[in-house]
Structure 1
Amino acid sequence: MMATTEPKDGELRERSLFYSLRDGMAWSVMVGFGDHYLGAFALLLLATPFQMGLLVALPPITGALFQLWSARLTDRSGRRRNIIVTSAGLQSLVWILIFLVPMSVPREWAVPFMIFFVVCFVVGGHFTVPPWYSLMGDLVDPSHRGDYFGRRNRICQFFTFVSVGLAGLVLHYFEKLGPGARPYGFMVIFGVACAARLISTVYLSLQYEPPYAPPPREKQIGFPEFLRSLGSSNFGRFGVFSAAMSFAVHLSAPFFVVYLLRDLGLNYIRFTIVTSMVVLAHILTLVFWGRAADRFGNKWVLTTCGLIFSVGPLCLPLSTEFWFIVAFQFVMAVAGAGFNLASANYLFDAAPPPQRARYVAFIHVLNASGVFLGGLAGGWLAGRMPPAIAWGPVHFNLASGLLMLFLISGLLRLVILAAFRSRFQELRSVDPAPRPVHLFRLAVVEMFSFK
């Protein structure tokens, strides 16, 4: 009888990274068919601007608070994979509750119920975050994190891109059948989202979990201690910067969908084209940003991308032409792709491995607080913004009062970027910042390289 050979640690890690890619693909299908259309679904249910702000603001802060519990549970149980799989499985089932809202809830209660179910959905996703970051931090070689996650995210974004397009076609088909058929279109795409998340959960359950040794309880930092160190530690200052940018971005972000569908009157096909620019930009640029972060540092990527998406909203009032909106969305998504990737990589670098789950939860609470406060402030301001700019003899009429909110958001992002640029440091030894010509050449090569 032949003895079976157990796979070596390296083989198990490689196999887990393969399963992680498959999990990401299925998760991306869920995002394309589900997450991207939650705002449109809320408008179908006649959500007010304040409710749209609440839809974006409330789920992240609630989910982030649950991350604190998730991080504590991760350290106490040491069973990261079990927490991830259970949370992801429960999250998938919430899609059923969301798409049943129009048929099972009175119209006046439809939006509140939808927001509640979206909160439950986001809580399920956030509960996986601390153990997932901890697990992936152990599986991925630190010197190749930018490259690995850039490639993984590029493939995942391709699946999201296709999914967004297919979901848009489904909605357009039901839109053609008449207003009464629209809810059934959302039922179909959210059903696909549910199935995709279940498939993602299967792949998560197949991942290898390296031995995990949480720090002794007496050395585990708590959230109050973390808050007290915000001004004195590099990680804390980065957390404040990240939260402040989240506030500024989400002061206006929830209302871009309102601007497109209500004020510009886009149909679902055109709305899908604009939405898909986010995914297309990620597909084309994530590998470039990942390698740039490995070579020139995460802080350089954060600063460069932060400048682009701070200036971007200031240009939005220039035109209401459809293709201008498409180009605007693409450029903003290019900057957002790099900023989000570099932020995630900076967390891996800055958080001490034994307490990575806790530090990730702490930073996400700060970010979600920024999202929450920004969404509430934006919801309050959205209906009070004048549709014109008047400054002495200068007078500009705007296509929508929301454009004033986008201008305020852009200016606030610039102020935050300038204030925090020198407040936190790059943590690795990296090459000097590239010249613009060299950077452009590198971007073109990476953008169209699908190795």
Structure 2
Amino acid sequence: MASVPTLSDPFVTNETHPSSLSGVTAEGVLSSTMRGAGEAYLSAYALYLNATAAQVGLIATLPALMGSFAQLLAAWWAERRGERLGLTIMGLAAQGFLWLPVIVLPLLWPDHAVALLLVTLTLYYGANHFANPLWHSLMGDLVPEDMRGRYFGERSRLMNLANFVALVSAALVLRLAKSHGHTEIGFVAIFTLAMLARMLSIPRLRTVREHALPKGRLSLHPTILWREMRGTQFSRFAIFTAVMSFSAGIAGPFYAVYMLRDLHFSYIQFMATQAVVVLSQVGTLTLWGRLGDRFGNRFVLAVTGSLIPVAPMLWLTTTHFGAILLIQLLNGLAWAGFNLSAGNFVYDSVPREKRSLYNAVHNILTAFALAAGAGLGGFFAVHVPATTQVFGLAFGHSLLWVFLISGLARLNTALAFIPLLREMRAGTATPPRRLATLFMRRTGPA
């Protein structure tokens, strides 16, 4: 087996340890392999099981929403035990084992396949969300503030390379299985690879050196939480990302439906559209990280927030495979910078001892927003006829209306919320005048 890439010495400081960073990087590479070979094809799996567009939207969002409540339990439990690593490993191990029912149950009872997939994915994402805020809290302690952009940019680049290889490999397996009339065997094979990748990632985490948390009494009462967070930069940012997630969720689950059902893309073509997103992230994450370290995360959020609304609207202009690849290229680089800086903004804006809780709140709001957006998109997908005309504008597919609504919602979200954010990291440089004029004019000063 090839060795797992590790980060170079410049990222190691007195506050970190080489073995910890190597373990973090290795875990990320193997987790991305799981996502590329497994999670990226869950919508295709649902369509293979004869799910409708509305059901695909539910499968893409409802399990993550229901599972997100496990984050509050994890934050509460970690605060009382004063440690996070053991609980993180427990959650990720459960996630790995839950690939088994995801694979087996829908195939054993095909008449109830969609419902069974929904239930098993809810448990799967619950296990993942249990580990999520604890892991982010650990990373906030492990990586010094002044190099988070570079470190996470480089780590994310390696993760996306692994994701790309897994995406391509899984598509080839599905194509081979379909050509022999056994598509279900192809799905079993790629999901088994995803399960193995997750299980192999867990021993890597044992090299991480944890900074113990002080034990205390963490309150989960909504009134107390709101009193603590109200008026803070974190609360504004959490609302902003939730509304942006809602806007993106309107369209997000339905791109796969549009390509596989309406445009009749092959699995190879579908894989290519996903792979372009990953490659664009590989090529730009390091740049976004360096820009965030130099000019601040708020600047990167302003730039990418201006680009994110464009991608869904471009789907209205073409059905050509090559053009769609270019749209996905733009989509990937925009979301790469947005997600990287959003994660770093959370690190910068919350107190260390409450990172797990604040991350849990942030992720639950995002999950609710994604589910609500997908529900609205599913409603439009089912009830808006393809022949609908508005001000003389008509499309050949009803899902294109969903993409248009999503793009307009993203644009209004960026214009409304980015001016409310302020840079939390001290010592960042002023952006070049031309860039500041282009991206900050409508989104307010940093």
| TM > 0.5 fold call | yes
Amino acid at match of 2:376: A
Q: What is residue 195 of structure 1 aligned with on the other side?
A: 196
Secondary structure in 2 aligned to 1:209?
coil
Cα distance between partner residues in 1 of 2:393 and 2:193 = 48
Q: What is residue 307 of structure 2 aligned with on the other side?
A: 308
Q: What is residue 340 of structure 2 aligned with on the other side?
A: 341
> Is the CA contact 1:220–1:355 (under 8 Å) kept in the aligned structure 2?
no
Q: What is residue 156 of structure 1 aligned with on the other side?
A: 159
Superposed CA deviations along residues 177-223 of structure 1, whole A, max 9, x for unmatched, are: 12xx0011000000000100001111112311123224x42x75744
Cα distance between partner residues in 2 of 1:383 and 1:167 = 30
Superposed CA deviations along residues 324-358 of structure 1, whole A, max 9, x for unmatched, are: 11110111111011111111000100011011111
Deviation of 1:61 after TM superposition, in Å, equals: 1.4
> Is the CA contact 2:89–2:202 (under 8 Å) kept in the aligned structure 1?
yes
Cα distance between partner residues in 2 of 1:349 and 1:11 = 17
Q: What is residue 185 of structure 2 aligned with on the other side?
A: 184
Cα distance between partner residues in 1 of 2:278 and 2:396 = 27
Q: What is residue 359 of structure 1 aligned with on the other side?
A: 358
Superposed CA deviations along residues 386-441 of structure 1, whole A, max 9, x for unmatched, are: 3256345x344x2311001100010011111111122121112322223568999x
Q: What is residue 80 of structure 1 aligned with on the other side?
A: 84
CA 1:282/1:314 → structure 2, altered by over 3 Å: closer, same or farther? same
Is 2:401 aligned against 1:418?
no
CA 1:229/1:42 → structure 2, altered by over 3 Å: closer, same or farther? same
Q: What is residue 123 of structure 2 aligned with on the other side?
A: 120
Secondary structure in 2 aligned to 1:128?
helix
Task: List runs of 5+ in structure 2 lacking aligned partners.
Answer: 1-11, 439-446
Is 2:136 aligned against 1:138?
no
Deviation of 1:256 after TM superposition, in Å, equals: 0.5
Q: What is residue 211 of structure 1 aligned with on the other side?
A: 212
Secondary structure in 1 aligned to 2:389?
strand
Deviation of 1:120 after TM superposition, in Å, equals: 1.0
Deviation of 1:229 after TM superposition, in Å, equals: 5.8
> Is the CA contact 1:382–1:405 (under 8 Å) kept in the aligned structure 2?
yes
Deviation of 1:318 after TM superposition, in Å, equals: 0.6
Cα distance between partner residues in 1 of 2:29 and 2:54 = 33
Cα distance between partner residues in 1 of 2:308 and 2:152 = 22
Amino acid at match of 2:187: F
Deviation of 1:100 after TM superposition, in Å, equals: 1.0
TM-score, L = length of structure 1: 0.90
Is 2:297 aligned against 1:294?
no
Q: What is residue 29 of structure 1 aligned with on the other side?
A: 33
Amino acid at match of 2:67: G
Cα distance between partner residues in 1 of 2:132 and 2:222 = 17
Task: List runs of 5+ in structure 1 lacking aligned partners.
Answer: 1-7, 441-451
Q: What is residue 405 of structure 2 aligned with on the other side?
A: 408
Secondary structure in 1 aligned to 2:231?
coil
Kindly tell me the number of residue pairs found equivalent between the two proteins: 426
Cα distance between partner residues in 1 of 2:387 and 2:404 = 12
Deviation of 1:84 after TM superposition, in Å, equals: 0.7
Q: What is residue 65 of structure 2 aligned with on the other side?
A: 61
CA 1:249/1:438 → structure 2, altered by over 3 Å: closer, same or farther? closer
Q: What is residue 17 of structure 1 aligned with on the other side?
A: 21
Q: What is residue 38 of structure 1 aligned with on the other side?
A: 42
CA 1:436/1:183 → structure 2, altered by over 3 Å: closer, same or farther? farther
Cα distance between partner residues in 2 of 1:422 and 1:437 = 16
> Is the CA contact 1:385–1:405 (under 8 Å) kept in the aligned structure 2?
no
| Percentage identity across paired residues of the two chains | 34
Q: What is residue 281 of structure 1 aligned with on the other side?
A: 280
Amino acid at match of 1:265: H
Q: What is residue 224 of structure 2 aligned with on the other side?
A: 225
Deviation of 1:274 after TM superposition, in Å, equals: 0.6
> Is the CA contact 1:226–1:236 (under 8 Å) kept in the aligned structure 2?
no
Cα distance between partner residues in 2 of 1:277 and 1:230 = 38
Deviation of 1:128 after TM superposition, in Å, equals: 0.6
> Is the CA contact 2:246–2:372 (under 8 Å) kept in the aligned structure 1?
yes
Q: What is residue 247 of structure 2 aligned with on the other side?
A: 248
> Is the CA contact 2:296–2:425 (under 8 Å) kept in the aligned structure 1?
yes
> Is the CA contact 2:249–2:373 (under 8 Å) kept in the aligned structure 1?
yes
Q: What is residue 324 of structure 2 aligned with on the other side?
A: 325
Question: Which of 145, 166, 169 is matched with 2:169 structurally?
Answer: 166
> Is the CA contact 1:84–1:204 (under 8 Å) kept in the aligned structure 2?
no
Is 2:259 aligned against 1:260?
yes
> Is the CA contact 2:106–2:112 (under 8 Å) kept in the aligned structure 1?
no
Secondary structure in 2 aligned to 1:367?
helix
Secondary structure in 2 aligned to 1:100?
helix
Cα distance between partner residues in 2 of 1:439 and 1:267 = 43
Secondary structure in 1 aligned to 2:98?
helix
Q: What is residue 3 of structure 1 aligned with on the other side?
A: none
Cα distance between partner residues in 2 of 1:388 and 1:353 = 53
How big is the alpha-carbon RMSD for the aligned residues of Structure 1 and Structure 2? 2.1
Superposed CA deviations along residues 279-330 of structure 1, whole A, max 9, x for unmatched, are: 1111111101111111111111112111111122122111100001111011
